[in-house]
Chains A and B, each alone.
Chain A
C-alpha cells in the first residue's frame, strides 16, 4: 500500500473556496461579465460551489458551465482514449470573463486544451484560471490566477481530489 496523507480536509477546502471566490470578486469589478466553467470531471463540482459563493457575494446569479477538453488534448494518441464528458455552456462566452475551474494544476496541458476548446464557442473577453491545488511540474507557460493551496510534490506522487460526499484532498506517495 502506498502511503497517503490528507493534505486538505473538508473545512480547509471550504475555506479555500471562499477565499478563491473573494479573490475572483476582487479581481473582477464588473461582476455581470463573469462566468465559471468547470473542467470535467474534477472541476465541475468546484465550479458549482464557487458559483454559489460568488452569487452570495454579488447578490446575483453567476452562470456556471462545464467544458469537456478531451477532443483538444495533445496526448490523444499516447494513451487510451479518454472518457468524454458532456459540455454544458448555458451562456454566450463572447465578451465574458471566463474563469476556468479545475481541481489540480499539474503539467498545464489540460488548461491549454481547455483554452483551445473554449475558442470553439466564441471569444471571451478574458480567461482566468482557478484551481484547488497547484502541485507544480508545469510543462507549459501557464499560471493559475487563483490557487486554493500550493502543494510541492514529486512527479511520481499522485494528488486525489474528492468532492461530494466527503470532501478531501489526498497526496499519495510513490
Chain B
C-alpha cells in the first residue's frame, strides 16, 4: 500500500503501486455502495468544489455522488452559469473558491494542464476530471478497476483501444495506467486519428482492425469527438462505422471471453452496434458503478494527512 500524492493530476506521474492502492481502496468503497446505508463520514466537514468549466454529465454526477457518500459539503460550478462568462480568469475563480476554504477542487477544463496550473497556485487538493486531450485519470482508474475485477489481473492482458485516440484523454490515461500495470495496449483506428507517435508511450499501433480485434482480451471503444476536431479527419461517420464500428461480424472475430468497454457517452450505431452495447460481454454500465467507488477512493486517499499511516 502506498500513496504519496497530494493531487490527482494525471496517471503518468503515478507508480504502479499507487494505482493498485487506489484499486484496492476502491474495492472497499464499492462494498459501501451495496449497503443499506451508503454514506460514510470520511470527508465530514470538508468542502469540495466541482469546477466543471467544460460540460460533463456522467463524470460530474459521479464525482458529486462520491462526495456526498463521503459526507463532504459540495459546491458546483459550471461554465455557463458562472463568472467565466463575465471574463474572470481560471486563477481568480480558483482563488475565490479557496478563499471560501475549499479543501478539494475537482476540475474539468478544455485546456490541457489546467489542473496542474491550479495545483501550483492553490493549497487545496486538486483532482483532474479531464483536461483537454491530455488526461482523464479517474476514468483510467475505473477502467483498470473494472478489468481487474472481471479478469482478476491486468498483467499480461491484451487491451485494444479502438477509435479516436488523437483527441482522447481517456486513451492517454488508459495507456499509462494499463501499461504500468503490465498489459499490452494496442491502438487502432483511422490513421489520421491514431498517429504512430503514440508508440512512444509504450503501446502498439495498428491499422488492421481484424488483427486488433482477434488478439484482444479487452476491447475499449472510444467515440469520435466531434467537438475537438477542427478539420475533417476522415471522410464521414458512416464510413467510420463501416470500417471500424463494432458490429456482429467483427465481434465474431474476437475471443469469446473478450469484454467490451466504453467510457460513454456511447453513440449507438456508430462505434458500437446497439445490441452489442447491451450484451452480456459489455461492461459499460459496470464501468459507471465502479467509477463511483474509484472516485470515493481517490477522495479518501487524497484526504489523508502527513502523519504516519500506522497508529501509535
Q: Measuring CB to CB, which residues of chain A are less than 8 angstroms from any residue of chain B?
A: 68, 71-72, 75-87, 106, 110, 116-117, 120-122, 155, 158
B152 within 8 A of A: no
Q: Name the contact of B308 in the complex, choosing from A68, A80, A84 (C-beta under 8 A).
A: A80
Closest B-chain residue to A84, C-beta based? B28
Give the most central of B3, B301, B305, B306: most A CB within 10 Å.
Answer: B305
Measured between alpha carbons, how far is A80 from B303 in the docked complex, in Å?
Answer: 8
Known: A68-B28, A72-B41, A76-B42. A83 touches B307 (CB 8 A): no
Closest B-chain residue to A117, C-beta based? B40
Measured between alpha carbons, how far is A79 from B307 in the docked complex, in Å?
Answer: 4
B86 within 8 A of A: no
Give the most central of B1, B32, B42: most A CB within 10 Å.
Answer: B42
Q: Is B32 in contact with A71, judged by CB distance below 8 angstroms? A: yes
Q: Report chain A residues within 8 Å CB of B312.
A: 106, 155, 158
Known: A71-B40, A85-B28. A80 touches B306 (CB 8 A): yes
Q: Report chain A residues within 8 Å CB of B305.
A: 75-80
Q: A interface, by DSSP: helix, strand, loop or mixed?
A: loop
Q: Name the contact of B31 in the complex, choosing from A86, A122, A155 (C-beta under 8 A).
A: A86
Give the size category of B's interface with A: 20 to 34
Q: Measuring CB to CB, which residues of chain B are less than 8 angstroms from any residue of chain A?
A: 1, 3, 24-25, 27-29, 31-32, 35-37, 39-42, 46, 70, 300-309, 311-312
Q: Report chain A residues within 8 Å CB of B39.
A: 120
| A–B pairs, 8, beta carbons within 8 Å | A75-B305, A80-B308, A81-B300, A81-B301, A83-B25, A83-B309, A84-B24, A117-B40
Known: A71-B40, A71-B300. A79 touches B309 (CB 8 A): yes
How close is B18's CB to chain A, nearest CB, in angstroms? 11
Q: Report chain B residues within 8 Å CB of A122.
A: 36
Measured between alpha carbons, how far is A122 from B27 in the docked complex, in Å?
Answer: 22
Measured between alpha carbons, how far is A78 from B42 in the docked complex, in Å?
Answer: 12
Closest A-chain residue to B27, C-beta based? A86
Q: Report chain A residues within 8 Å CB of B311.
A: 106, 110
Q: Is B31 in contact with A82, judged by CB distance below 8 angstroms? A: no
Measured between alpha carbons, how far is A86 from B34 in the docked complex, in Å?
Answer: 13
Known: A72-B41, A106-B312, A120-B37. A81 touches B304 (CB 8 A): yes
How close is A7's CB to chain B, nearest CB, in angstroms? 18
Measured between alpha carbons, how far is A82 from B310 in the docked complex, in Å?
Answer: 8
Q: Report chain B residues within 8 Å CB of A106.
A: 311-312
